[in-house]
Structure formats: structure tokens, C-alpha cells
Amino acid sequence: MANRDLAIAVIFLTQIVVGILGNASLLCHYIILYFTESRLRCTDLILKHLIVANFLALFCKGVPQTMAAFGWTNFISNFGCKFFIFLHRVGRGVSIGSICVLSVFQVITISHRNSRWAELKAKAPKYIVPSLFLCWILQVVVNVIFPIFVTGKLSNKNITHHKDFLYCSSVVHDKTSDSLYAALLSVPDVFCLGFMLWASSTMVFILYRHKQRVQHLCRAHISHRSSPESRATKTILLLMSTFVYFYALASILQIVLAVVNNPDWFLVNITAITTMCFPTVSPFLLMKSDSSVSRLCIAWKRNIKFPNLVRNT
């Protein structure tokens, strides 16, 4: 085994282990919150779907890539190749969609009661389940074409022109068809990225306005410590920038991978590593983000419920 293959295998193994531990920790985090708070929050359902999607994206991409890096390129059958790639694509898409739904729901939740989102506050929880199922159905429909054009190394089909993806291969079409299909696959990602940017920017704006109101009411007790709004804003910006960076880079690399007729070893592996980055680190960012926003929402609700206490402090 070459040193570069060993290094890639170690990277994939690290991503799988860290990602599984992170998502398992996120799941335990919300199980503990459920028993301590004795109620199920609306965001918990979104995060459960996100955890399942992250497990699919990590396991179905990481395991085959790791085996291929160790030199076992013929270990998977034709059906297994189609199955793993399809589940990975669906998991990756649902992960993006879940983050999008979570961001929009948080915008509606922390919006002021006199804002234009006030009417949606009571109705928003009802739309969570349909939105999540729509994410799953959309990703299944969009990615159903992958098993048609992808074959395993153990397949009996004689394909003259094919792209080698280490443990699987796909049929080579003309560049126009590949470009159109790559653009079609990118539409849901671009849509979700746009929603994520809008939701994060809106949350930052809402938190900034709320911070100004609180400082105006509590001028007598100005503290040099960072406010809850500032901490929540930093967390939201960190989550947004990480999400946009990894998924934008992964989408660009996958478009290049779809257009190039003979992708080399480096392009195939760097695309897989980049694709697995966000499912690996997102659980840790989400645990920090949820705790910061939750504490802010609790404090915010108390201020709204008892405004005279704030003015008199």
C-alpha cells in the first residue's frame, strides 16, 4: 500500500469515528434534555432527522472509501455499489434540508411578537413534519437516477466508456448531458444554501436589535462581559460559515467530478473528504448553537413577560 493511500484511509477513518461519536453525543444530548425538561421540543424532531441523515452520509460514503483506500476495490457487489451511493446522496441532501428547516424555524421562534412572523409562531410546529418528509421525498426523487448509471467493479456489464470512482464506476455521457445533470443536482443545494444565508442573516439582525433594546433598558448595569445576544450571534455565524464553506466547496467539487471524463485519484478522494466534513463537525456546532440560542430565548421570554423587572433593575 502506498503512503498516500494509507494517509487517505486514516483521514476517512478519523472522519467516521469522530462523526459517529459526535452524532451519538448529539442524540444523547437531546435524550437527556427530553428527560430533564420532561417535554419534546419542536427542534428535537428536526435534529433527529439530521442525525439519521448524517449517519447515512458518513457510513455510506466513509466505509466504501476507506476500504478502497486500503486496496479492497472489489469488495462490494453491483447492488451494494448502487445502494451505498444512493443512500449517501439521500443522506447528504436530507442533512442540508434539515439544517435549512432548522434555520427557518429558529428565525420564526426568536422573532418579535409584533413582527410579520408573529402569525407563523403558533403554526410553525405543524409544518415541521411535512417539511422533513418533503426533504426525504425530494432527495429520493432527485437521486433515484444514480443507481441507473452507476455500477460496481464486480458487475458483468461490459461498459466501454466509464468513470472510475475507485470502488464503483459510472457511464460516461457527453459533456452537455453531464453538465445539465450536475446543474440539476445542485438546484436543491443552492436553494437550501440561500435559505440558510437568509435565515442566519435575519437571526443576526434580530439579535442585534434585541441587544440594543436590552442595553437601552439596562444602562445602569452595563457589563464588560459579552452579552447572550453576542454569544448567540457568534455561534450562528460560525455554524453558517462552516455550513456554507463545506457544502459550497463539496458542491463545486462534485460538479467538476461529474463533468470530468477521467477523474484522477486526488479529485475523487478530496471530493469524498470534503463531502464528509460537515456531517462530521456539525453535531458539535449544533450542540453549542442550541445551548446558546436556548438560553437566549429563555432570557428573552422572561424579559418580555416581566418588562417592569428589567426597567427597574
For the chain, 313 residues long, give each residue's pLDDT as a single digit of tens.
577 888 888 999 999 999 999 888 888 877 777 777 656 667 778 888 889 999 999 988 888 888 888 877 677 788 888 888 899 989 988 988 888 888 888 788 777 666 666 677 777 788 888 999 999 999 998 888 888 878 776 665 655 566 777 778 777 766 677 677 777 777 888 888 888 888 878 877 777 776 676 665 555 454 444 555 556 666 667 777 777 888 888 888 888 887 777 778 888 888 889 888 888 988 887 776 665 445 444 444 444 443 443 334 3
Among 94, 99, 97, residue whose Cα is nearest residue 53: 94
Q: How far apart are CA 92 and CA 64, in angstroms?
A: 16
The reported pLDDT for the residue numbered 227 is 52
Among 56, 49, 34, residue whose Cα is nearest residue 105: 49
Where helices occur in the chain by DSSP H, the ranges are: 3-37, 42-69, 78-110, 118-143, 146-149, 175-217, 228-259, 265-305, 307-312
With b meaning 16 or more CB within 10 Å and e meaning fewer, what string describes 12-51? bbebbebbbebbeebbebbeebeeeeeeebebbbbbbbbb
Among 44, 51, 57, 53, residue whose Cα is nearest residue 15: 57
pTM over 0.85: no
- Quick count: other Cβ atoms within 10 Å of Cβ 159? 13
Torsion, CA 242, CA 248, CA 253, CA 255, rounded to 10: 160
Among 60, 69, 87, residue whose Cα is nearest residue 276: 60
Burial class (CB in 10 A: 0-12, 13-18, 19+), 227: middle
**Max Cα-Cα span within the chain:** 80
Please, are residues 186 and 251 in contact by the beta-carbon 8 Å criterion?
yes
3-state secondary structure (DSSP) of residue 171: strand
The amino acid at residue 179 is S
3-state secondary structure (DSSP) of residue 152: strand
The reported pLDDT for the residue numbered 214 is 64
The reported pLDDT for the residue numbered 307 is 41
